[in-house]
């Protein structure tokens, strides 16, 4: 019990201290645990939701730089408090509830869309001592809970009594379930290498980052997670030019704000998961002895991944619906299956080899798989009969000759 103990592992220190205090008061261990859980989950969830304000500021700043603007710069240093001001404003905005909405789905949707993302934070290992629940099916839990987000979107679209909202919602769900296919197949690779579904154990057994073992699986997961979030280039859910704004057109005030918070939180959570599964989570030199160091590594790695997604969001144009579906079903899904097969077979065949050599072989094979699948698909693309893209010429309104002036 010293200052060093606290600095080394603040979360573990505080937890031990808290349970110690409760035990001192004569609280039964079961009740103490329940109180600890309630308090812990409350603090973590609130922290996550407040953290979104920082994310919004960061994203606006980066996107502004990409577009050669300055971005928020008035409130606070570098405009840091812009999001706080925005939040205060949105709290005082009127809820405009259009007529004919389906009350329960309409109001449940924004809550559920945030909750479905927030729950993922319950199983994420932030450092060797700082994690909520160490579920032995953690990874499947994370994938499963994403389906709650799909439901929230369906509810929003259905409840809004709006054709465009409904169309946007079903597009969103179609996209999410489609990209879930290559995602779950690609996630079999880290599970296979770690031999566990628990996120905690996946990190602990990740002596070699799994992005090195299977860069293609990592790439597939990265693309699929961007699509799951529904950000550019996969933001055809909210294609302004066709669907006005997607499933959340009819929402206003903080109900809209919740969808916004949900989206940003989802993007960041996807980056957290990518780091956990493919970039070694909190692993790094000295992270096991000094847990706070692991937490810092984790945040830095996640920050880099998140920066990449923002960069992609700022620079790529939107896919068309059929292109989006083609990319998923005709490239990512076969590729993920091929990578799974190749990784499983090679790793088993070369079991006697040292880990380093195995990784080198796996990287080379991953490249080979990517090259072969890409070649096959390009041959298919060349032979494919396409529908004519340009439309038939239609008469255009022009000023009548000699007509009424």
Q: Within positions 1 to 60, which residues make up the interface with another protein, using CB under 8 A? A: 30, 33-34, 37-38, 40-42, 44-46, 49
382's CB contacts (< 8 A; 6+ apart) are none
On the 0-12 / 13-18 / 19+ scale of CB atoms within 10 A, 206 is buried
Residues 74-93 that bind another protein (CB under 8 A): 90-93
Stretch that binds another protein, among 113-121, 231-239, 293-301, 388-396 (CB under 8 A): 113-121
Q: Which helix (H) or strand (E) holds 60?
A: helix 29-66
Determine contact, residues 225/274, Cβ cutoff 8 Å.
Answer: yes
Output the smallest distance, CB 3 to another protein, in A: 29
Closest distance to another protein from the beta carbon of 38 (Å) = 6
Q: Which of residues 349-368 bind another protein (CB under 8 A)?
A: 349
Report whether 225 contacts 183 (CB < 8 A): yes
- Residue in 117, 124, 333, 144 with CA at minimum distance from that of residue 223: 333
SS3 385: coil
Q: Is 184 in the site for another protein (CB under 8 A)?
A: yes
Among 20, 98, 286, 375, contact with another protein (rule: CB under 8 A) = 98
**Nearer Cβ to another protein, position 307 or 329?**
329
Structural contact between residues 44 and 132, judged by C-beta atoms closer than 8 angstroms:
yes
For the record, the structure tokens of 161 come out as: 């009594």
**8 A C-beta contact, residue 186 and residue 221:** yes
Site for another protein in 136-175 (CB under 8 A): 136-137, 140-141, 143-148, 150-151, 154-155, 158, 160-164, 166-167, 170, 173-174
Where in 316-335 is the site for another protein (CB under 8 A)?
Answer: 321-322, 325-326, 329-330, 333-334
DSSP-derived 3-state class of residue 361: helix
Residue among 10, 12, 132, 303 that touches another protein (CB under 8 A): 132
Please identify, using beta-carbon distances, which residue of 171 and 313 lies nearer to another protein.
Answer: 171
**Number of residues engaging another protein in binding (CB under 8 A):** 103
Beta bridge partners of 131: 125
At residue 131, the 3 state secondary structure works out as: strand
CA nearest to 150, candidates 221, 223, 229, 97: 229
Query: Between residues 185 and 359, which has the closer beta carbon with respect to another protein?
Result: 185
Cβ proximity to another protein: between 79 and 157 the closer is 157
Site for another protein in 225-284 (CB under 8 A): 244, 249-250, 253-255, 257-258, 261
Structure-token match 């070694």, residue found: 280
Pick 94 or 405: Cβ nearer another protein? 94
> Quick one: 191 or 316, whose CB is closer to another protein?
191
Nearer to another protein, 288 or 326 (CB): 326
Which residue in the set 11, 27, 62, 133 belongs to the binding site for another protein (CB under 8 A)? 133
Minimum CB separation from another protein for residue 281, in Å? 18
Considering only CA atoms, which of 175, 170, 146 is closest in space to residue 160? 170
């Amino acid at each position: 019990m010293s200052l060093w103990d606290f600095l080394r592992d603040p979360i573990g220190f505080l937890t031990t201290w808290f349970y110690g205090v409760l035990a001192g008061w004569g609280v039964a261990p079961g009740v103490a645990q329940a109180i600890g859980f309630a308090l812990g989950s409350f603090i973590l969830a609130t922290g996550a939701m407040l953290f979104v304000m920082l994310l919004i500021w960061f994203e606006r700043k980066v996107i502004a730089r990409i577009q050669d603007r300055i971005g928020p710069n008035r409130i606070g240093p570098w405009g840091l408090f812009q999001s706080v001001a925005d939040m205060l404003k949105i709290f005082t905005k009127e809820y405009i509830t259009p007529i004919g909405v389906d009350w329960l789905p309409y109001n449940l949707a924004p809550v559920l869309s945030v909750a479905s993302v927030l729950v993922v934070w319950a199983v994420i290992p932030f450092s060797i001592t700082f994690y909520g629940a160490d579920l032995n099916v953690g990874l499947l839990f994370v994938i499963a809970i994403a389906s709650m987000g799909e439901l929230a979107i369906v509810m929003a679209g259905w409840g809004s009594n709006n054709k465009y909202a409904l169309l946007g919602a079903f597009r969103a769900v179609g996209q999410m379930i489609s990209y879930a296919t290559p995602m779950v197949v690609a996630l079999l690779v880290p599970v296979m290498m770690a031999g566990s579904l628990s996120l905690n154990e996946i990190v602990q057994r990740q002596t070699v980052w799994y992005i090195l073992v299977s860069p293609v699986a990592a790439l597939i997961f990265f693309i699929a997670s961007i699509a799951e979030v529904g950000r550019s280039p996969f933001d055809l859910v909210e294609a302004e030019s066709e669907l006005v704004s997607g499933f959340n057109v009819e929402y206003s005030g903080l109900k809209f704000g919740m969808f916004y918070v949900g989206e940003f939180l989802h993007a960041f959570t996807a980056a957290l998961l990518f780091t956990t599964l493919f970039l070694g989570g909190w692993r790094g030199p000295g992270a096991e002895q000094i847990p706070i160091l692991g937490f810092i590594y984790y945040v830095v790695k996640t920050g880099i991944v998140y920066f990449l997604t923002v960069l992609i969001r700022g620079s790529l144009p939107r896919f068309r619906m059929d292109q989006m579906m083609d990319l998923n079903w005709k490239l990512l899904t076969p590729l993920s299956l091929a990578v799974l097969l190749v990784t499983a077979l090679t790793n088993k065949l070369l079991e006697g080899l040292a880990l380093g050599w195995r990784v080198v072989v796996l990287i080379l094979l991953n490249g080979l798989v990517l090259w072969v699948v890409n070649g096959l698909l390009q041959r298919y693309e060349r032979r494919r009969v396409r529908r004519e893209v340009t439309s038939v010429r239609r008469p255009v309104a022009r000023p009548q000759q000699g007509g009424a002036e």
